[in-house]
Amino acid sequence: MSASPIVNNKLTVHKLSYYNYTSPLEFREVELKGYSETSFLGPTQILIKTKASSLNPVDVILYQLTPTWLKKDVLKGFGSDYAGEVLQTGSEVKDYKEGDRVYGDLLKPFGPNGAFSDYLVLDVTKEDKIGKIPDNLSYQEAAALPIAFGTAYELITKNHNVKGANVIVFGAGTSVGTYGVEIAKYLGAKTVLATCSPKSAAKAKEYGADVIVDYTKGAEHEYKEITEFVKKNGKFDLIFDSCRDPVFMGRLKDVLKTRKEGGKYVQVFGSTTMDYRTVTVASNLPTKGIMRELVASRLPFSKYEFISASISDGGDFIKAVADLSASNKLKIPIDSVFKPKDYKKALDKFYSGSFKGKLVFDFE
């Protein structure tokens, strides 16, 4: 077990941080003071030695969109997904003890905590996405899970009973989509049709996709391949879209079962066409085609259910991760691992889009 880093009731942490989009994103030394004169931790807090974290689009989006006036004196922590070892627990913490390996997502926009920090202090009563790492997973693997796996798991399970269903995963080359394929098969989907580039096709198959459609050949090719499938196998029960694929906007009837038949189109809020170097509020907004589907879906007597959503309350993925890893079925797409000091290289890789899976940081 690691030694306590607390000295004189204070802890010095090194965290990747910023004030707003104009301030540099860099590791800063920050001194955390004790909760009270006699105890560094509050009764429901835990201290974690970070062992790994992973990068998500939302981390970059938040940094780029933080205006100069928003909580201007608060140093904002960068990053959300973490994995680490519990070093100390507050007097009322029952579920965690020293030495536990934990992981989670601490996404709290514009707050001081961030996963790219050598130590984390968390209040377990306020963290709903925290769990123990299954024994057969490494810290790096665990850190690659929370937001991407959690989003796919929450949005798929909240909206559909996948057992026996025919499912499309648009964007199986994204981390969320890769996990979407894996989760749909784990939950008993009959067939998963996945769209991705040829570079991601082998991975999508490895994660369980039955049919691959190459989206890089163009929208009409994608439309034709999928509607050919529909002619032979019937319409889809669930469409899980991690990349805002425009191909069926305005023509859901060609591919999706109606609301009465139980069909659902679930789109992850986000955009794979965004240039992450120059994020604007506008680049996050839904396209006209998506807006039309969202409005149509809310009209009385609408035939098709179309949902655009984000990860919200879900720590439910923790149990799915435990089940999948207990049966040795959990696969985790990691593209590469960086040392924290090389965060600029990792960001450059992220901006270039030349990666297939999660970009993970090794804090050990």
Ligand X SMILES: NC(=O)c1ccc[n+]([C@@H]2O[C@H](COP(=O)([O-])OP(=O)(O)OC[C@H]3O[C@@H](n4cnc5c(N)ncnc54)[C@H](OP(=O)(O)O)[C@@H]3O)[C@@H](O)[C@H]2O)c1
Given the rule CB under 6 A, which of 33-41, 54-62, 130-138, 255-263 is the region that contacts ligand X?
A: 54-62
* Closest CB to ligand X: residue number: 173
Q: Are 143 and 53 within 8 A, CB to CB?
A: yes
What lies within 8 Å, CB to CB, of 48 at 6+ separation is: 82, 84, 85, 86, 87, 102, 119, 120, 121, 122
Taking the complex as a whole, how short is the minimal distance between the CB of residue 159 and ligand X, in angstroms?
Answer: 14
The residue within the footprint of ligand X, chosen from 272, 292, 303, 307 (CB under 6 A), is: 272
212 binds ligand X (CB under 6 A): no
Closest by Cα among 175, 351, 355 to 278: 351
3-state secondary structure of 34: coil
Q: Does 50 bind ligand X (CB under 6 A)?
A: no
Distance CA 113, CA 11 (A): 14
Say which residue the tokens 């991760």 belong to: 321
Q: 178 phi and psi, to 5 degrees?
A: -60, -45
Q: Closest Cα partner for 279 from 175, 171, 176, 351? A: 351
Is 269 among the residues that bind ligand X (CB under 6 A)?
yes
**Which one-letter DSSP state was computed for residue 342?**
G
> What is the full DSSP assignment across 67-133?
-TTTTTTSPEEP--EEEEEEEEE-TT--S--TT-EEEEE---TTSS--SSBSEEEEETTT-SSEEEP
State in angstroms the smallest separation of the CB of 264 from ligand X: 17
Q: Is 244 left (phi over 0), alpha (psi -120 to 50) or beta?
A: left
Footprint (CB under 6 A) of ligand X, residues 217-246 = 242-243, 245
Q: According to CB under 6 A, which one of 104, 208, 270, 314 is a site residue for ligand X?
A: 270
As given in the structure block, the two tokens for residue 346 are 């990792």
Q: How far is the CB of 328 from ligand X (least distance, A)?
A: 24
Please identify, among the stretches 6-14, 110-118, 170-178, 336-344, the one whose residues bind ligand X according to the rule CB under 6 A: 170-178
Subset of residues 173 to 192 that bind ligand X, contact rule: CB under 6 A: 173-176
Least distance in angstroms from the C-beta of 338 to ligand X:
15
Here the tokens at position 256 are 């999706």
- Choice from 122, 142, 193, 196 touching ligand X (CB under 6 A): 196
Query: How far apart, in whole angstroms, are the C-alpha atoms of residue 160 and residue 237?
Result: 9
Tell me the per-residue interface mask from 67 to 106 with ligand X, x by CB under 6 A, - otherwise.
----------------------------------------
Per the structure block, which two tokens stand in for 41? 């931790």
Residue choice 147, 187, 249, 290 for contact with ligand X (CB under 6 A): 147
Q: Which is nearer to ligand X, 101 or 264 (CB)?
A: 264
Q: Take residue 241 and report the two structure tokens written for it.
A: 């879209």
Give yes or no for residue 57 binding ligand X (CB under 6 A). Answer: yes
Asked if residue 356 binds ligand X (CB under 6 A), the reply is yes
Q: Which is nearer to ligand X, 93 or 334 (CB)?
A: 334
Among 271, 297, 321, 340, binds ligand X (CB under 6 A): 271
Of the residues 97, 126, 199, 344, which one makes contact with ligand X according to CB under 6 A:
199
Structure tokens, 332: 């985790």
Q: Is 157 in the site for ligand X (CB under 6 A)?
A: no
Number of residues that bind ligand X (CB under 6 A): 28
Q: Give me the least distance between CB of 117 and ligand X, in Å please.
A: 21
* Positions in the binding site for ligand X (CB under 6 A): 56-58, 147-148, 151, 171, 173-176, 195-197, 199-200, 215, 242-243, 245, 268-272, 310-311, 356
